[in-house]
């Protein structure tokens, strides 16, 4: 088992060869992929792709970059889209004070509104956080409190999380998983390496963020879900753990987070 917990198959850079991309992922051992929405059109498209491919799941949400575009009717549509059987989370949502492509007030509004949708439809959340760690933490702490979730339940994931180990552990205590992406393989990623080496696998997922963030081996190229193997292999090396353990344990965490347990386990157990 190996799951790419975060990719964007609906990106323009895929399309022509999407079937090949999904085929290569399967060949490299990827048992499931979660294609992540970032605005309304990409959320609708994520569902279409998931409906067409058995091992692809979808999330729906509006990224902080596009927060200024979110309308009240979009919030209602997100709640409707979330009912679709292959939709496993709301995201990616959050705050990005690095690029500030939407005004901060709009980012806050969109973030809070979509967390409310997630609570209403009882789905976990996929979080994008950049240069806004304290602010994101505060909002998510409120969300966790509103949920009053039991301690062993995962309520979301910090996607390609750039924070350090103490910051990561703080999110884990709130009920979040920490997701490790391709940049862990870059020479200068000491902080992320420390996180990937220490966070319990029961709170860790791996991802590509394809077509973005290619791992070192394919740096400069379009990234794709097959390359999540590079991430899992690198994490295994860092931890001195067999690759199979990291692949299997992070897949279990992802399944638990997104509620894939039954369907993915059945598929992995199937003869092929």
- Retrieve residue 189's tokens: 């990623």
CA distances from 257 to 33, 80, 214 (A): 13, 21, 24
Site string for Ni ion, 193-232 (x = CB under 5 A): ----------------x-----------------------
Site string for Ni ion, 43-82 (x = CB under 5 A): ----------------------------------------
User: Nearest approach, Cβ of 122 to Ni ion (angstroms)?
Assistant: 23
- Retrieve residue 147's tokens: 């949920």
101/236 with CB nearer Ni ion: 101
User: Nearest approach, Cβ of 63 to Ni ion (angstroms)?
Assistant: 8
Quick check: helix, strand or coil at residue 58? strand
User: Nearest approach, Cβ of 91 to Ni ion (angstroms)?
Assistant: 9
Site string for Ni ion, 155-194 (x = CB under 5 A): ----------------------------------------
User: Nearest approach, Cβ of 263 to Ni ion (angstroms)?
Assistant: 23
222/268 with CB nearer Ni ion: 222
Among candidate residues 158, 160, 155, 178, the one with its CA nearest the CA of residue 258: 155
159/229 with CB nearer Ni ion: 159
Q: H helices within the chain, ranges in order?
A: 18-27, 40-52, 72-81, 104-121, 133-147, 165-174, 190-198, 228-239, 243-258, 261-269
66/209 with CB nearer Ni ion: 209
Chain-centroid distance, C-alpha 145: 22
First vs last C-alpha separation in the chain: 13
Give the separation between CA 94 and CA 138, rounded to whole angstroms.
Answer: 12
64/175 with CB nearer Ni ion: 64
- 4 is a contact residue toward Ni ion (CB under 5 A): no
133/209 with CB nearer Ni ion: 209
User: Nearest approach, Cβ of 8 to Ni ion (angstroms)?
Assistant: 6
User: Nearest approach, Cβ of 158 to Ni ion (angstroms)?
Assistant: 12
Quick check: helix, strand or coil at residue 212? coil
Give the separation between CA 5 and CA 58, rounded to whole angstroms.
Answer: 10
Task: Give the count of residues interacting with Ni ion (CB under 5 A).
Answer: 1
User: Nearest approach, Cβ of 60 to Ni ion (angstroms)?
Assistant: 13
Among candidate residues 90, 51, 42, the one with its CA nearest the CA of residue 69: 42
Q: Which residues bind Ni ion (CB under 5 A)?
A: 209
């Amino acid at each position: 088992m190996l799951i790419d917990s975060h990719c964007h198959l609906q990106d323009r850079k895929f399309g022509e060869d999407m079937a090949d991309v999904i085929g290569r992922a399967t060949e490299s051992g990827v048992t499931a992929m979660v294609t992540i929405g970032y605005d309304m059109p990409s959320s609708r498209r994520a569902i279409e792709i998931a409906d067409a491919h058995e091992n692809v799941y979808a999330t729906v949400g509006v990224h902080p970059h596009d927060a200024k575009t979110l309308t009240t009717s979009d919030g209602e549509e997100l709640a409707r889209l979330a009912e679709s059987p292959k939709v496993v989370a709301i995201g990616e949502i959050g705050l990005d004070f690095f690029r500030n492509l939407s005004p901060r007030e709009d980012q806050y509004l969109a973030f809070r509104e979509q967390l409310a949708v997630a609570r209403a439809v009882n789905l976990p959340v996929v979080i994008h956080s950049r240069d806004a760690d304290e602010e994101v933490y505060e909002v998510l702490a409120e969300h966790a409190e509103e949920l009053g979730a039991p301690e062993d339940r995962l309520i979301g994931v910090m996607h390609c999380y750039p924070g350090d180990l103490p910051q990561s552990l703080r999110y884990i205590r709130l009920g979040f998983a920490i997701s490790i992406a391709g940049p862990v393989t870059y020479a200068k990623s000491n902080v992320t390496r420390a996180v990937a080496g220490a966070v319990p696998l029961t709170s860790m997922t791996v991802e590509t963020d394809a077509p973005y963030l290619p791992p070192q081996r394919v740096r400069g190229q379009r990234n794709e879900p097959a390359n999540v193997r590079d991430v899992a292999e690198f994490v295994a090396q860092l931890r001195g753990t067999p690759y199979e353990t990291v692949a299997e344990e992070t897949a279990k965490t992802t399944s638990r987070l997104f509620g894939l347990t039954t369907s993915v386990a059945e598929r992995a157990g199937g003869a092929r």
